[in-house]
Amino acid sequence: MRPSPTTCTINCNTGAMMNYLYSANVRLAEFLYTPMYYVLLPANFIMLPIYNSIATYSLFESIVGRNSVIINTGIPLLISTAAGLAIYSIDTYIGSGNDSLFINYLSLNSYDINKDEQWKQFNVFILNFISFSILSELIKTIERYISDKLTLSLAREAEDATDKKVYSNQNLIKISSQSDNKNDYPNISYSCILILSRTGSYLTKGASTVIQASIGAFMLFQLHPILPILSIIYGGVTQIVGKLISKKIAELETLVTDNVNRRQKPLKQHSINESVKLVTSGAEKLNLKYLTETKSEERSLKNKKIILEKLLSFVNNTASVLNVGIRWYVSGLMFYKEIIKPGDRAIIEIGMLKINQSFSYILEIAPELANTMGHIKKVRAFQDKLKDLSNLKDDKIIKSYEEGVFKIKQLAMFKDKKLLFQVDKLECKTGDRCVIYGSTGCGKSTFFAKIKSLNITQNYIAEGYITYPDKNKEKNIILVSQEDYIPFEQSIYQFIYLPEILPKKLVELKLLKAQINDLLQEAEIFEELRYRLEPEINSSRDNIDQVNSLSGGQKKILKLIGAIVHKPSVLILDETIKSLDPGSKGRIYQMLDTYLRDTIIISSYHKDRAESKRDKFYNIECFIKNGFSAEIKYYSKKNKDIQEISL
């Protein structure tokens, strides 16, 4: 039965309307896709370098100087922007060839064309894809390398400007921060740059990824409602499974490391020869059954780790293959069912890819974004510290040099313009041992810091005259404080003898290492540190124990050994030896007297050293008079004077 004219008219009008709506939806999707691809992506390449440059400039402009910051941030900005746009252009070119590659691929099965010619074209498309993809990665690598080098250069310059003021008070064994041969220390300045850059990068990329994924989902929905649902389910499952496996692998790695350390701990208490004897003799100190069990457990954990790593690799590779396969299959099926047109395949390809990438990105950056506030607090605290340092005023101390004589005359210390204490005269000659006696809080540490020319805070200003026994003045003075904090991640040899002033010749390095080892043995600390010492004195810091892992007493002894190695003209001990045990005190005093006979040693008063015949005693007497004030008086070596200041 033929349809009536009315029915035919209705069907025709409905079909025309559906075609119109379909075309309108496709045009709307293309309209939304165009700004995403041609505006959001290139804007992302430009905005990230700009953000990083602004953050870096605001942090370092007041420290290093405007011109230096502009050079070291402007060049990476230009390079990053140019590289980003170049990569975007290459990716666009590669993307534009996808349709041609797809059409050429389909035409390989046609019999009415020259198949050999089509095969040649197909190979050209594949070669272009591989070549330009490699070029894109090469540009990324070069850009990152140059930017990192310039950023590190700026960080080092900032460290030079702040090192003496920020770090010298905490790492007081350091002789000078003015070395020309600056080493690559991990420092707060560089960390701040990384924090700002990483956080800003995550936030910017995260916003861009979410926008792109949302537009992609909308475009897929316009083609068919099942497409965004399928993409979300597939993308979420694959990424979450991969993340769970990665987390499990990390947990197993921690267990393996703990197991190895636990198994080797009994062995580390002995030398290699002693361990062999103990093992062969079956001594109780080495429980062989315990070692066997822990080793078996370690192997089991490693096997599980290997299995999980292979599983993760399989999941990642499978997901990568399925990503391509599903997109091609879905687009091919919908094209075969005449649901979409050939040109719509690119929408399916990009939409599904963006949704999958959004899941990956969100899982990747979630921990970092959770710590964003903590990072910001660290940066603010560092900026506050730098602000305080930038307001420091220079001391009005007139410095001079006289061979073998250390002299202080009319040195006055002010806090907030009020007199804190005044030293009329203090004089020591080569080999003298001077003791500063005073109650807690009277200003001994502040006095020592001013001798070393350290600025404590902006509230303290010193005036007066200091004569140094060495031409290098305060640079050849070592101040060893009672603080245990070490600002840098250093190895033991590096802490004792700073890498920036290490001798260049291998023979000298070997002799220096032998000297340090002899001093460690004399201080009876070598055996405790035997398995912490790196193989060579100038070796890399990678995979070695750091000084911060040592006890407070061990750190103090290392500082004192470092002072002996450097042989300063003046050594200041700010209650350094006070907390050591009696045996360690005796050994250190003996070593100082033996190896630093010509060094002037100034230390805080200790009761157990009050009977020394070589010591000169000075007392800081505190009293209330027109605010907080004090003066230093010299005591002779007569017994009655010593008894007068004894506790």
Per-residue model confidence as pLDDT tens digits over 582-591: 788 888 888 8
Quick one: which H or E segment has residue 435?
Answer: strand 433-438
User: Is the pLDDT at 166 greater than 50, yes or no?
Assistant: no
- Report how far residue 492's alpha carbon sits from residue 477's, in angstroms, rounded to the nearest whole number: 21
Q: Which residue has the higher pLDDT, 400 or 37?
A: 400
Largest CA distance in the chain: 135
The pLDDT value given to residue 450 = 73
Name the residue with higher pLDDT: 290 or 284. Answer: 290
CA–CA dist 460, 446 (Å, integer): 9
Query: Using 50, 70 and 90 to split pLDDT, how confident is the model at 489?
Result: low
Question: 588 and 580 in contact (C-beta within 8 Å)?
Answer: yes
Mean pLDDT for 326-354 is 68
315 HSE (CA, 13 A, CB side):
18
The mean predicted confidence, pLDDT, of the chain is 63
* Predicted pLDDT of residue 62: 55
pLDDT given at position 275 = 43
Cβ pair 524, 587 in contact under 8 A: yes
Which pLDDT score, from 0 to 100, does residue 552 have? 74
What are the strands, taking DSSP E only, across 482-577? 570-573
- Residue-wise pLDDT for 229-255, tens only, equals 877 777 777 777 777 777 777 777 677
Cα 213 → chain centroid: 32
pLDDT of 452 above 80: no
pLDDT at position 531: 57
pLDDT in tens, 66-83: 666 666 667 766 777 777
Q: Alpha-carbon distance 451 to 453, whole Å?
A: 5
**How far, in Å, CA of 187 to CA of 286, rounded?**
42
Phi, psi of 423, deg, nearest 5: -110, 110
SS3 574: coil
Kindly state the helix (H) or strand (E) to which residue 318 belongs, with its residue range: helix 288-336
- pLDDT one-digit tens code per residue, 201-217: 666 666 667 777 777 77
**How distant, in Å, are the alpha carbons of 87, 265, 409, 438, 643 from that of 42?**
10, 55, 66, 67, 80
Find the angle CA(543)-CA(491)-CA(261) to the nearest 5 degrees: 40
Give the CA radius of gyration of the chain: 36
Query: Residue 399 — very low, low, confident or very high, per pLDDT cuts 50/70/90?
Result: confident
What confidence score (pLDDT) does residue 12 get?
42
Q: Which residues contact 257 (CB under 8 A, 6 or more apart)?
A: none
Residue 503: CB atoms within 10 A of its CB come to: 13
Lowest mean pLDDT among 2-6, 91-95, 440-444, 507-511: 2-6
Q: How far apart are the first and last CA of the chain?
A: 124
313-334 average pLDDT score = 66
Confidence bin at 196 (pLDDT 50/70/90): low
pLDDT band of residue 169 (cuts 50, 70, 90) is: very low
Most confident of 167-171, 177-181, 385-389, 558-562: 558-562
For 405, list phi and psi in degrees, rounded to 5: -130, 130
Task: Using the predicted structure, report yes or no on whether residue 292 has a pLDDT greater than 60.
Answer: no
Q: How far is CA 159 from CA 185, 221, 378, 589, in A?
A: 9, 54, 17, 35
Under the banding of pLDDT at 50, 70 and 90, the label for residue 627 is very low
Q: What is the mean pLDDT of residues 517-526?
A: 74
C-alpha angle 268-270-272 in degrees, rounded to nearest 5: 90
Q: In the prediction, which pLDDT does 193 show?
A: 56
Q: What is the 3-state secondary structure (H, E, C) of 209-258?
A: HHHHHHHHHHHHHHHCCHHHHHHHHHHHHHHHHHHHHHHHHHHHHHHHHH
**Domain boundaries defined on the chain:** 12-223+368-391, 225-339, 396-482+571-576+602-645
Q: What angle separates helix 188-223 from helix 5-35, to the nearest 10 degrees?
A: 170
Q: Is the pLDDT of residue 188 over 70?
A: no
Q: Residue 496 is encoded by which pair of tokens?
A: 């004792």
What pLDDT is stored for residue 368 in this prediction?
A: 63
* Sheet containing 570-573, strands listed edge to edge, beginning at the edge strand earlier in sequence: 396-401, 460-468, 405-415, 418-429, 628-635, 615-624, 433-438, 600-604, 570-573, 477-480
User: What does the alpha-carbon distance between residue 561 and residue 581 come to, in Å, rounded to a whole number?
Assistant: 16
Tokens of 118: 């089509």
Dihedral-angle region of residue 61 (phi above 0 means left; psi in -120 to 50 means alpha; beta otherwise) = alpha
- Find the length of the chain: 647
pLDDT at 362: 67
